[in-house]
Chains A and B, each alone.
Chain A
Amino acid sequence: MATLKEIQTKIGAVKKTQKITKAMNMVAASKLRGAQEKMEAFRPYAKKFAEVLGSLAERIEVDEEHALPLIVPRTEVKTINLLLMTSDRGLCGSFNTNLIAQGMKFLKEKADQGIEARLICMGRKGRDFVRRRKHHIAGQHIGVVGARFSFNVAVKVGTELIDSFLSGETDEAYVIFSEFVSMPRQVPTLKRLLPIAGVEKGEEAQKAEEVGYIAEHICEPSAEKLMGEMLPKHVYVQIFGGLLETSTSEHAARMAAMDNATSNCDEMVTSLSLVYNKARQAAITAELMDIVGGAEALKG
């Protein structure tokens, strides 16, 4: 049995830990709010962008194969790029583990098909893991996820991916990010970035019903040229969206983890107090026995 003093020290330590987890919880909560606002702010842009792109895609004809290499799938895929988004910091439950597990599963699948993968890591946790596993790291961006970042980051990363795709160095590009579904639910999601998969069409028909006319745009420059300008931006938009979602998820995951930790501390303090009280009572009883025993002996 531990001594009273030891138990007291232990209780003190747990209480201090609880203070820290509580503070981290609150910090995560406020960062989460900021991240969520950014996500909200980005939504109109992403929506409009998809709309315009969709209506353009509707009108582009068969000739696209020559004009737009970004949407043409390669017949033989040898090398791919994988953009792995994780957080820079830990203490957020299984958040990074889930993302990395998804990444490793994906890499294994590709390796089984004889495809070589290069990794671009956004986030320290993912990079460290990948480095330990001795995978090929083609690029890394630390200090982005979970912090304040601008659209330029997405442009930079997107350009890397596009350049390596266009030069023929890689044949496909994927991203793994954490989708923010709801506060308690963040899902690691895999998405193909390049070649750009079927841009959603058919919004036109839907729009026509709503507004009563079909937006048959006059385009300047030509629809094909516009499309050529928009496709790289589409990749940037996807990456930026992924970053926003991952950041929001990170804060949400950390908040949940810290909330758990705080209530676990509570539990520990309760059970330790119980042990402490029992020990104290045992000490008192023992002392009483001594005194009573002594008195009896004197009487005798």
Chain B
Amino acid sequence: MAGNIMLEVVTPDRSVASEEAQIVVVPGEYGEFGVLIGHTSFLTTLKIGMLRYKDRDGSERVVFVNGGFAEALPNKVTVLAESAERRKDIDVERATAALKRAEERLAEASRREDIDFNRAQVALQRALVRVRIAETRRAR
């Protein structure tokens, strides 16, 4: 392999990650895709999901990404997310609570008109991915 690719994850609040990676796996709208150095220029929207990458030493890192965009260039991947968190920064309690709330709202959505079904679904998705990522942390 010809070396490492530069990864940058930025949100409006801060830069979440900015380092070299051996490989980056990005949750694209139409499916996950892996990026190695020398990738063709590629631009896509993202879904709510987990971005995985192997850092310079080969240990796997996980970042939660709340939608957004990713631009892959031969030597660099840039992820523009409205929010993103590293696995260690995820607030499990909050995510679990959000998961419960979203489930309840979804269950009630058919009966009540004041609940925005789409929004509840997105919230559910967000919470679910967060909890899932956090669980992989505990397993290690």
* Chain A residues near B (Cβ < 8 Å): 38, 41-42, 44-46, 48-49, 52, 56, 150-151, 154-155, 211, 213, 215-221, 226, 229-230, 237, 240
B12 touches A226 (CB 8 A): no
B12 touches A240 (CB 8 A): yes
A218 touches B69 (CB 8 A): no
B100 to chain A, nearest CB (A): 21
Across-interface contacts of B13 in A (CB, < 8 A)? 38, 41-42, 150-151
Query: Interface size bucket, B side?
Result: 20 to 34
B80 touches A45 (CB 8 A): yes
The stretch that binds A, out of B42-50, B88-96, B109-117, is B42-50
Across-interface contacts of A154 in B (CB, < 8 A)? 12
* Known A-B contacts A150-B13, A151-B12; A218 and B83 likewise in contact (beta carbons under 8 Å): no
B45 touches A221 (CB 8 A): yes
B10 to chain A, nearest CB (A): 5
The one of B42, B73, B78, B83 in contact with A220, judged by C-beta atoms closer than 8 angstroms, is: B42
Across-interface contacts of A226 in B (CB, < 8 A)? 43-45, 69
A221 touches B29 (CB 8 A): yes
Q: How far is the CA of A63 from the CA of B85 in the complex (A)?
A: 38
The one of B8, B29, B43, B83 in contact with A217, judged by C-beta atoms closer than 8 angstroms, is: B43
A48 touches B14 (CB 8 A): no
B41 CB–A CB distance under 8 Å: yes
The 3 closest A-B pairs by CB, nearest first: A217-B43, A220-B44, A151-B12
* Known A-B contacts A151-B83, A226-B45; A42 and B71 likewise in contact (beta carbons under 8 Å): no
Main secondary structure of the interface of B (DSSP, over half): strand
18 contacts between A and B (CB under 8 A): A41-B14, A41-B15, A45-B10, A45-B12, A52-B69, A52-B80, A56-B43, A211-B73, A213-B74, A215-B73, A217-B42, A217-B71, A219-B44, A221-B30, A221-B45, A226-B43, A226-B69, A240-B12
B10 touches A52 (CB 8 A): no
Across-interface contacts of A217 in B (CB, < 8 A)? 41-43, 71
B125 CB–A CB distance under 8 Å: no
B12 touches A237 (CB 8 A): yes
Q: How far is the CA of A230 from the CA of B80 in the complex (A)?
A: 11
Q: How far is the CA of A45 from the CA of B84 in the complex (A)?
A: 12
B11 touches A45 (CB 8 A): yes
The one of B29, B41, B45, B82 in contact with A215, judged by C-beta atoms closer than 8 angstroms, is: B41
Across-interface contacts of B8 in A (CB, < 8 A)? 44, 48
Q: How far is the CA of A232 from the CA of B15 in the complex (A)?
A: 22
Q: How far is the CA of A237 from the CA of B10 in the complex (A)?
A: 13
Contact residues of B between 11 and 30, Cβ < 8 Å to A: 11-15, 28-30
B121 CB–A CB distance under 8 Å: no
A49 touches B14 (CB 8 A): no
B49 to chain A, nearest CB (A): 15
Q: Which residue of B lies closest to A44 (CB)?
A: B10
B43 touches A220 (CB 8 A): yes
Q: How far is the CA of A41 from the CA of B13 in the complex (A)?
A: 6
Q: How far is the CA of A237 from the CA of B68 in the complex (A)?
A: 13
Q: Which residue of A lies closest to B69 (CB)?
A: A52
B43 touches A52 (CB 8 A): yes
Across-interface contacts of A42 in B (CB, < 8 A)? 12-13
Across-interface contacts of B44 in A (CB, < 8 A)? 219-221, 226
